[in-house]
Structure 1
Amino acid sequence: MGLKENVEAIKQELSTEEQFLESVIKAEGFFKKYKKLLIALGTLLVVGFLAYAAMEYIKNRDLQQANQALALLQSNPEDQAALDTLKSKKPELYELYIFSQAVKSSDVAKLQKVEKELKDPVLKDLATFQSAALSQDSEGLQGYAEKQGAMLREVSILDDAFLLFEEGKNKEAREMLKQIPVTSSLYQVVQNFMHYQK
């Protein structure tokens, strides 16, 4: 029985080695058959990784340069080189900066100029409202309030009503204030206007 078991063990070992050799030969055949494709795929993966790393590096460098430019502009708002750097490296931050400077200056002409330059819809909307509010332009405020998607619609109505109260047009102002819904966070202000402007 010992000899029979040994023969079986040797057969099984040879069978395992044959299977291993067979799989190595198949793998070698597969590699030879698809050698160019596998090398191209490997090269593509390496190039893709390097391109991604380069893009991340450039993105981080631009962000650092934009932050440095913004820091310079905060200390010296007239620094044109820093403004140009900010505009080229981070256009969104540049738009926010010029908008904030225009609002800070309370200069209607500057705000209208910036409004035309803005591409960001939120900032453009805010600039439109701010321009009409600063110039106390009743038509501009009404136009803004009627505009689809105006973010500060209710504030615009409130500003316009205030201007009408100032002109002594109390009835028109009250009618305008009725456009602000009861659910609005400004409704208490509307009630105060109705109470004090009789």
Structure 2
Amino acid sequence: MNTEEQFLENFIKGERFIRKYKLYLVSFVIIFVLWLIVSFVMDTIKESNVRESNEIYANLLVKNDDKILLDKLKNKNLNLYAIFLMQKLTQNPTNTQILQELNALSENEKIEPLFRNIIALANNDKSIFLKDYAKILEAYVLLEQKKIEEANVLLAQIKSNTPLEKIAKNLKHYQGISQ
């Protein structure tokens, strides 16, 4: 068999393969092209929303009391809205209206978990964010009151992979609590 015959044979095999799987190949190409188009459109929309949210936030920094801009930001980007409220809260820590709004936001599922923890800290709630730190402070108070057993229980709850582990071990050691 010479090369022309081999080429012709391979061409016929390829043609049969394409004819047999034509529907699958065309479907795959169409789905891939649609996926590319949808992902491009979604990225463009997301980028536009971020840009618009940032513009609204920048305008709010200039005009603090603009209710229309505040509502726009709340509808566009709840996380940025929470940051703005936190900033206003630092300027006026006794403002109960802002605290109530932040408390309502902390229960919203659209808010990032990190912001929920930060909001919980602003409301003086217990936060997972500083859970181990709070345990160390509680244990220290218990150690000052000579309640060594209770402090030992709290210090034992601090996981070994946290940065506060050394502090917990030191508190156990200096108060005569052995591991």
- TM class by shorter chain equals 0.5 to 0.7
- Give yes or no for contact 1:96–1:123 (8 Å, CA) kept in 2: no
Task: Say whether 1:126 aligns with 2:126.
Answer: no
On the 8 A contact 1:111/1:127 being kept in 2, the answer is no
Mapping 1:94-133, distance limit 5 Å: 94-119=81-106, 120-129=115-124
Cα deviation code 1:5-45 (max 9, x no counterpart): xxxxxxxxx52221111111111111111112211111111
TM-score in terms of structure 1 length:
0.59
Tell me: higher relative CO, structure 1 or 2? Use CA pairs within 8 A at least 6 residues apart: 2
Structure with max Cα Rg: 1
Aligned to 1:72: 59
Q: TM-score, normalised by structure 2?
A: 0.64
Structure 1 or 2: more helix by fraction: 1
> What aligned pairs does 1:8-27 form with structure 2 within 5 A after superposition?
15-27=2-14
Which secondary structure does the structure 2 equivalent of 1:118 belong to?
helix
Q: Assess, with a 3 A threshold, how the Cα gap between structure 1 residues 20 and 150 changes in structure 2: closer, same or farther.
A: closer
Distance 1:29 1:95 in 2: 61
Q: Percent identity?
A: 25
Q: In structure 2, list runs of 5 or more residues that go unmatched.
A: 107-114, 146-150, 156-165, 169-179
Structure 1 vs Structure 2 CA RMSD:
3.3
Structure 1's 109 and 87: CA in aligned 2 closer, same or farther, altered over 3 A?
same
Which of 16, 19, 27 is equivalent to 1:29?
A: 16
- Residue identity opposite 1:92 in structure 2: N
